[in-house]
Structures are given as C-alpha cells and as structure tokens.
Amino acid sequence: MKQVFNMFYTNKLFSSAIAIIFLVSFSYGLANAQIEKGSIFLGTSTSITGGNYDLILGTNNSIGFSSSTMKSSDYEDEFSVFNFSPKLGYFITKNLVLGANMKFWVQKEDEYKTSITAVGPFARYYITDGKIVPFVEAEATFGNYKDTWESSYSDGESKEKLSIYSVGGGLAFIINKFISVDCLVGYKTISIKDSDSDDDDKMTLNNFGVVIGFTATF
C-alpha cells in the first residue's frame, strides 16, 4: 500500500506539471510538428489511470523521484523511489517513427531494494498532419525484476524475468514545431516469471488505462 501511494503521488505531481505547461503553451498557438523523415523523437509519459499492479511494479512510463517517511508511536520507516523511462526514436519515413524505450525503476526501503531494468522496441505512426494529430503506437519491453535484501539475519536476492507488451491509440496536441502533448488510450500486458524456474508458470497482469505524456521532435 505504501508503494502504491508513493508512486500514485509522484505520478499525480508529474501529471499536474504536464497540464499546466500544456495550458500555458496552448495559449501561444499551435504549429506543425517535425514528423518528417530524418527527425529525432524523444518522449516520456505517465499513467493517469490503470491497475495498482502497474504502480507497484513501476512499469508505467514516467520520470520521478520521491522520498517518504512513515512514523507511528513505535515504528518509523523510510523509503525512496526513482524511475526513469524515456523513449528515443527516428523517423524512418514521414509520420512513422521506430525506436527503443527503456525502463529503470528502483525502490529502497531499509535493507530491502527492488529494481526493474528493461529495454525494448516501439513504433508510432501519425495518421495525418495538422494541429491535433491522431496516432497509433505499440511497444514491447524485456528485462529483469529483482529483489535484494541484506540484514543481520539474512541476505540474498531473487530475480524474475519481465515482459511488457502494450498497444494503443490517441491524439497528439501540437504545441509548437518541436513539442507535443500526447493523450493515449492503451492496453498493457505484464508477464513475470521466475528466472530459476524451468516450467512455464508465470504471473500475468493486464492493464487498461489512459496515458498523458510529452514528445519532442527535432
């Protein structure tokens, strides 16, 4: 529950910043973005709605850091969370970008540390030109979900394989030649499997949600 609250609070702050910047920038007018062949794509986003598992696992795209302390009369606990999940791509033709997305997420709590390191391909296609541009997007990410602990009683680690597949569509609101604010509705499947297991047993989490993010093209 602490993890969910912590990640939810971080995402809300990031989402509020997106909304403020969008409203200010929109008042200065819109221009066509650079979605021509040869342009560079740089983006990140944050989940506004979706399952709690997505928050707990840190598999929602976002950039953020938070540090929290929980206290009671006989208990005190400190933990911090850092997550960084950018996308970098290249327009191979007009309106079509191919690239890579990365997910790096770490939570520390006393002697416990949980982390995700993953990378994979993504593709986005802008359907038309204009000031409000519809697009479709798909991505796949592969990596590791690892827990480590060290205390006076015991120490060790557990590692699991992580696979994430997502697909969606949305609208890009073009702020100027370089920046857009994207709103996407998507479906995501997260699979987690024990790295040391030889069988096919795995946990699968399905998530449907709305995503808002920034994109820069140059």
pLDDT, position 110: 75
Residue 192 has pLDDT above 80, yes or no: yes
pLDDT, position 153: 76
Of 40 and 57, the one with more pLDDT: 40
Terminal Cα distance for the chain, rounded: 41
Q: What value does the mean pLDDT of the chain take?
A: 76
14-18, 19-23, 78-82, 100-104: which is most confident:
100-104
Neighbours of 154 (CB within 10 A): 8
In terms of phi and psi (left: phi > 0; alpha: psi -120 to 50; beta: otherwise), the region of 153 is: alpha
pLDDT, position 32: 59
**What is the H or E stretch that residue 18 is in?**
helix 2-26
The number of residues in the chain equals 218
On whether the CB atoms of residues 179 and 214 are closer than 8 A, the answer is: yes
Gap between the Cα atoms of 216 and 86, Å rounded: 11
Amino acid identity for residue 58 in this structure: G
**What residue ranges in the chain does DSSP mark as E strands?**
40-47, 63-72, 75-84, 87-93, 96-109, 112-126, 132-150, 155-174, 179-194, 203-217
pLDDT tens digits for range 107-140: 887 788 888 899 999 999 999 888 899 999 999 9
Determine the average pLDDT of the residues in 63-88. 69
Of 159 and 151, the one with more pLDDT: 159
pLDDT, position 28: 41
* DSSP SS3 for 32: coil
**What is the H or E stretch that residue 55 is in?**
helix 52-57
Percentage of residues in the chain having pLDDT higher than 70: 67
The structural domain count of the chain equals 1
pLDDT, position 74: 66
- Report the half-sphere exposure of 71 (CA within 13 A, side-chain side): 2
Residue 2 has pLDDT above 70, yes or no: no
What CATH number is given to the structural domain containing 59?
A: 2.40.160.20
Determine the average pLDDT of the residues in 173-182. 91
- The pTM of this model reads 0.74
Of 204 and 44, the one with more pLDDT: 204
pLDDT tens digits for range 25-55: 443 433 456 788 999 999 887 654 444 445 4
Neighbours of 204 (CB within 10 A): 10
pLDDT, position 172: 94
Quote the tokens at residue 26.
């929109």
Amino acid identity for residue 26 in this structure: F
User: What range defines the domain where residue 156 resides?
Assistant: 2-217
